[in-house]
Amino acid sequence: MAKITDTIIITSSQSETSITDVAIVDYIESWIEDNVLTHYKVVSSNPVELVALRSFKRVLVICPTIELSEIIMEKMNSIQNNPLLSNLQLNYAAFDSKDLHNDDYEKKYLKLPKGEKRFLVSPPTSPPPEFDYSKVEEAPNVFHHKTPLMFNEVQGRATLVKSSVGTIILDNSACSSLQTLEEPSIREFKTAMPPKSIFEED
C-alpha cells in the first residue's frame, strides 16, 4: 500500500486528454470546493493548493493535513459516470509538502518546477461558528428629535433659531398647534415655494 502523504498527484489515463487544461483544472477546483471544502474547515492561513504542472501534464493537490488528503483521495476514487473525473488517475506523492525544503529531498529528487497555483479555502459560514443563538437582540433605538421653538401665542409666530447672526421666525397662524396653544412641531409649518428659475419653461 502506498504511503499516504499530504500531496496527491493527478494524471489522465487518456493520452489525448491534457489534465492541465484550464477547463479540467477549473472542474477539479469546483469539485473540491463543492464536495470537500463545504464539509471540512480549511482556512486561508493553511489552504488547499491546486498546482498545475503543464510541462509534466500533472496536477498536484497539496492539502494542509494528511487526513484531508486521504478524504479527497477516497472521494475522487469513488466517482463514477463522470466524463471528466472518471478518467483521472490519482496517486500519493512520495513525500509531504514540508519535505520539499529538506536537504535529503534535494539530494534525491529534482526540484519541483513552478506551476500555476490556486489556493482553495472553505466558504464562510453564515452565521459564523461563534454566533450566540441564545442571545436576544435588543429593539432598535428610536430617537425623536424635537426642534425647540420659542412660541409667541399673541402674534402666532414661533422662533426657530435665534443667535447673534440672525433670527429665523416661522409664521403660520393657521397651524393647529398654534391655535391650541401647544408647542408646534417643525413639520406643521409650510415653507414657501422656491423662486422660479429664469431657465424653466412654463
Specify the pLDDT at position 45. 93
> Which of 23-37, 49-63, 130-144 has the weakest average pLDDT?
130-144
Distance of alpha carbon 162 from the chain centroid: 51
In this structure, are strands 58-62 and 48-53 parallel, antiparallel, or unpaired?
antiparallel
Specify the pLDDT at position 190. 54
- How large is the average pLDDT for residues 151-162? 60
Specify the pLDDT at position 178. 47
Of 174, 140, 137, 138, the C-alpha closest to 157 is: 174
- How large is the average pLDDT for residues 8-15? 87
| More confident: 79 or 8 | 8
* Residue 156 CB contacts under 8 Å (≥ 6 apart), including other chains: 171, 172, 173, 175, 178
Placement of cell 430617537 in the chain: 143
